[in-house]
Chains A and B, each alone.
Chain A
Amino acid sequence: MSNTLVEFKHVHTHFDTDEGIFKAVNDVSFRIKEGETVGVIGESGCGKSVTALSLMQLVTAPGKINDGEIWFDGRNLLGLTRDQMRQLRGHEIGMIFQEPMSSLNPVLTVGEQIVEPLQEHLLLTKKEAWAKAVEWIKKVGIPRPEKIAKSYPHELSGGMLQRIMIAIALCCNPKLLIADEPTTALDVTIQAQVLDLLRQLKGELGMAIMLITHDLGVVAEMADYVVVMYAGQVIEEAPVLELFREPKHPYTQGLLRSKPVMGQRQKRLYSIPGQVPNLAQLGESCHFHERCASCMEICRTKQPPLRTDGDTHKVACWLYEEGFGHEQA
């Protein structure tokens, strides 16, 4: 079994706003092993991105990591100084974002933007870094790299920009790539290309990937292991095949049912009723109980703990808790 690269231990990231404290990440714990692709899925606003930003320590005010530990490669990141953390970013942890169009600086050439981390972390000279940047543009599958390196972001398409972002994130050979909805803003054919590219680069470089998405298709295609989040908490995690074969949490089951299946004509696509609860007004209940078809008495009063069910499957639901569940599942 390979070593653990990242471990979130009871991380709490809260946003203290006028309307109350938003518990965007509320006691999240999970692991990413070396070279593994972990898919983090959940609806918009469930805390996926904030979890990733907590790892990078790029949560912006009024957000704050209030409690917990985040271990990366044997170090607790929350104990590092600002400068130590900065040296880790872009060097050992690369990150790509959802909107390639706005994620690159409009007044700098893309070459210049790839050169920056190379000079900062690998201490290359300007010339070496430029050569390497051109090499990377080629590596991410863009033709005429010399010319592209001298162009500005507005001259390139969304797909090309996302490739450039991938080059920026991976050029210092990180151990972990955080991909925050990397394909959401792209159209479908480009999505497939970008995913292929990520898979191919992962094969070459062997980094772990934390893949944040709400697209189950992307998860099925890319991930080894899946973490399902809901209202700032991890509610289920399992290896990808197991999760798709036997989802346990009613929310995960709902998510899988709401995915259209090719060749299957339905009058109406299933959707989970209700909406994600307001993160500022979470009570003691299971956060999903209002939308859950199998809601029981205890679900309204007490939160289920995340417990191991079977070998590798973890789920937080009273249905699977001894003495509470109906053992029907």
Chain B
Amino acid sequence: MRQYIIRRVLLMIPTLLGASILIFFVFALTPGDFVDTNLKLTPQRAQELRVLYGLDKPIIERYFIWIGNVLRGDFGFSFKYQEPVSDVIKHYLWNSFLIAFVSSILTWCIAVAVGVFSAIKRYSWFDTLVTLGVFAAMSFPSFFIGLLLIKYFALDWKVFPVGGMTTTGSELAGFGHWVDVAKHMFLPVLVLTMLSVGTLTRYFRTNMLEVIRQDFVRTARAKGLKEKVVVYKHALRNALLPAITLLGFELPALFGGAIITEKIFNWPGIGRIHMEALAFRDYPLLMGLTMLLAILTVVGNLIADVLYGVADPRVRLK
């Protein structure tokens, strides 16, 4: 097992190098740069800025400068925020993580419970209702649900704040601060959960239906085990196994930020700065963010593979 993990970690190096090349050249070869966004600059001044930022050097050389710095943990300097990229990311990362994490936990719990239940009670009115509900929730675009929720919850009924992460000007600390944040979190988390719960519910329902007609479930029943044990111990465990792969993809999603939802709710997260960085052509920041996602994806996959080995004896390595 240890050898397997070491081998997998070593394999990550060429994968990430490949990703870095792609990421760098996609951004570097795109016509236009940060200097171009300011139309007031004289050509002379623009050229000075390019030299200052190292944008005048040949592209290959620029890649090696960038990757050299990245390897030392330096992702460059954000044009827009006038801060090191790693500081900008650090500043917003955990905000995104907060809503993504809460919504992921909610999504998974709801999806497992509802998916399993509607598989057991297949074609019942509950199953039909749930199917209709999750498809409805999935089909609405996030900006639409987001705005709709803001209209009802924030404007009409005034239960939750319109946006942001804390009440403007509030100086709450400790517990009060967290209650304030929780209030602000409610709507974005609701939107994120509604959007993702459908797919996962259908996924678990299908898996469960698949497993429940397997021979070993019949054996469990033939042993006279309680229906609860048959479903939760024998069937559910097998139905959850393939979901581990999905769990690996959750990692980049947790830190990647939700671009549209964060924008709508004015949540100070990675998704929002991603959007702004795009608008301002803040390439160092964009490259840093994309690289971060690449790293998280690769790490997420590794974790999924290792977890799979832990959960499924058939792939467990001796």
Contacts and interface: CB of A to CB of B under 8 A. Distances in A.
Interface of A: 56, 58, 60, 86-91, 94-95, 97, 99, 102-108, 116-117, 120-121, 152, 154, 165, 168-169
Q: Which of B220, B222, B237, B311 has the most CB of A within 10 A?
A: B222
Given A105-B238, A107-B241, A154-B313, A88 B224 contact: yes
A166 to B, nearest CB: 12
Interface in B69-95: none
B213 interface: yes
B232 interface: no
Nearest to A58: B221
Interface string B133-160: 0000000000000000000000000000
Contacts of A94: 222
Given A104-B219, A106-B313, 6 more contacts: A86-B226, A89-B221, A104-B216, A105-B216, A120-B223, A120-B224
Contacts of B312: 106-107
Contacts of A107: 237-238, 241, 311-313
B238 A90 contact: no
Contacts of B225: 86, 90, 116-117, 120
Q: Which range holds the interface residue count of chain B?
A: 20 to 34
Nearest to B220: A105
B218 interface: yes
Nearest to B214: A102
Contact of B215 (A90, A97, A120, A154): A97
A121 B219 contact: no
Contacts of B220: 105, 116
Nearest to B313: A152
Contacts of B214: 102
Interface of B: 213-216, 218-227, 229, 233-234, 237-238, 241, 311-314
B218 A116 contact: no
21 contacts: A58-B218, A60-B213, A86-B224, A89-B222, A89-B224, A90-B224, A90-B225, A97-B222, A99-B215, A102-B214, A102-B216, A103-B218, A105-B216, A107-B311, A108-B234, A116-B223, A117-B223, A121-B224, A152-B313, A165-B219, A168-B219
Given A89-B221, A154-B314, A103 B237 contact: no
A141 to B, nearest CB: 20
A90 B221 CA distance: 8
A86 B237 CA distance: 22
A91 B224 CA distance: 7
B222 A56 contact: yes
Closest 9 pairs (CB-CB, A-B): A90-B224, A89-B224, A90-B223, A102-B215, A152-B313, A105-B216, A117-B223, A95-B222, A103-B215
Contacts of B221: 58, 89
A19 to B, nearest CB: 18
Contact of A90 (B213, B222, B227): B222
A105 B234 contact: yes
B143 to A, nearest CB: 42
Contacts of A102: 214-216
A206 B242 CA distance: 44
A87 B238 CA distance: 25
Nearest to B316: A152
Nearest to B122: A61
A210 to B, nearest CB: 13
B314 to A, nearest CB: 5
Contacts of B241: 107
A133 to B, nearest CB: 13
Contact of A106 (B213, B224, B314): B314
A88 B226 CA distance: 12
Contacts of B234: 105, 108
A126 to B, nearest CB: 14
Contacts of B227: 86
Contacts of A58: 218, 221-222
A88 B225 CA distance: 10
B1 to A, nearest CB: 16
A88 B213 CA distance: 22
A60 B224 CA distance: 16
A74 B229 CA distance: 29
B213 A117 contact: no
A152 B314 contact: yes
